Amino acid sequence: MDWPIAEVARMSGVTARTLRHYDEIGLLPPARIAPSGHRHYGERELLRLQQVLVLRALGLGLPEIGRVLTEQVDEVEALRGHHRRLLDERDRLDALAGTVLRTIGELEQSRKDGTTMTINRPENLFEGIQPAQYEEGLRGFPEHAEAVTRRVAAMSAEDVEAGQRERTARMVRLAELMASGLPADAAAVQAETAAQYRALTELRAASVEEYRAFGRSCVDNEQWRAAYESIAPGLAAYQREAIEAYAASAPS
């Protein structure tokens, strides 16, 4: 039995246009093409589509998904691996949700008491957040990635962890500004954005245009977007807009 592309689109929630794209790049060829030119998919193709969508949900790009599916031999074992990754992601999201909920409670209590929030265990702020996502996104900036590699090689494990936490802390500060309703070009947001740029240039000289490219990657790069969105929905686009505003006002 097979199903026409329109029915597969309805069942999976994937548009027919996306399914045609998957065929064009060799990721998901149909079982057959009818004389009318319509694509039809069998059970094997539906199983492959399920794996594609699972891997997309886990943050993999289409080229990487293609490599994963090409290298796998046994479908059952592959699905077991995907299942484990989904469980790991669920646990990470549960931890992240708990982190955010705990911070909300502490902030609300401090406001109720009229006191400043005291962080007894600052490491709790970062539970569930994966700094490795940031490094993955550097693949599009080879010179910067090389500078990061050299810097990390000369650092202790404690210093590396401290740097990761500071990067995440900057993202959290930006999320707080966004949550307060400030536009991306507000003075406080731009001050934070300028501090980010200074941190970038401390590692290696980077032009404002390069910084603008970093800003676009916050949305365009899957790893970076996932890292920002795990902290607050909409944060990736907010960061991009803040960097665009900074670049537009920076001296040429």
Q: Is 42 helix (H, G, I), strand (E, B) or coil?
A: strand
pTM above 0.75, yes or no: no
Query: Per residue in 48-67, pLDDT tens?
Result: 898 888 888 776 778 888 88
d(CA 190, CA 193): 5
Provide the β-strand partners of residue 42: 2
- pLDDT band for 143, please (50, 70, 90 cuts): low
Predicted pLDDT of residue 19: 94
Q: Is 237 helix (H, G, I), strand (E, B) or coil?
A: helix
Compute the mean pLDDT over every residue in the chain, rounded to the nearest whole number.
Answer: 77
- Sequence letter at residue 232: A
- pLDDT band for 222, please (50, 70, 90 cuts): confident
Query: What is the DSSP secondary-structure string of 62-127?
Result: HHHHHHHHHH---HHHHHHHHHHHHHHHHHHHHHHHHHHHHHHHHHHHHHHHTS----S-GGGGGT
Query: Which has more pLDDT, 159 or 6?
Result: 6
d(CA 87, CA 75): 18
Query: Per residue in 186-215, pLDDT tens?
Result: 999 999 999 988 887 876 777 888 888 888
Strands of the sheet containing 32-33, edge to edge, are: 2-4, 39-42, 32-33
Are residues 99 and 126 in contact, defined by beta-carbon separation less than 8 angstroms?
A: yes
Least confident interval from 10-24, 26-40, 143-157 = 143-157
Query: Which has more pLDDT, 46 or 112?
Result: 46
Query: Which has more pLDDT, 211 or 74?
Result: 211
Q: Quick one: how far is CA 231 from the chain centroid?
A: 10
Two tokens, residue 209: 């245009």
Query: Which has more pLDDT, 183 or 232?
Result: 183
Q: Is 40 helix (H, G, I), strand (E, B) or coil?
A: strand
Q: Quick one: how far is CA 150 from the chain centroid?
A: 24
Q: How far is CA 44 from CA 50, 172, 204, 211, in A?
A: 10, 44, 49, 45
- pLDDT band for 8, please (50, 70, 90 cuts): very high
pLDDT of 110 over the 90 cut: no
Query: Which has more pLDDT, 169 or 11?
Result: 11
Provide the β-strand partners of residue 217: none
Query: What is the DSSP secondary-structure string of 150-176?
Result: HHHHTS-HHHHHHHHHHHHHHHHHHHH
Q: How far is CA 168 from CA 70, 130, 172, 240, in A?
A: 35, 9, 6, 16
- pLDDT band for 106, please (50, 70, 90 cuts): low
Structural domains of the chain sorted by starting position, each given as residue range(s) with its CATH number in brackets? 2-71 (1.10.1660.10), 129-249 (1.10.490.50)
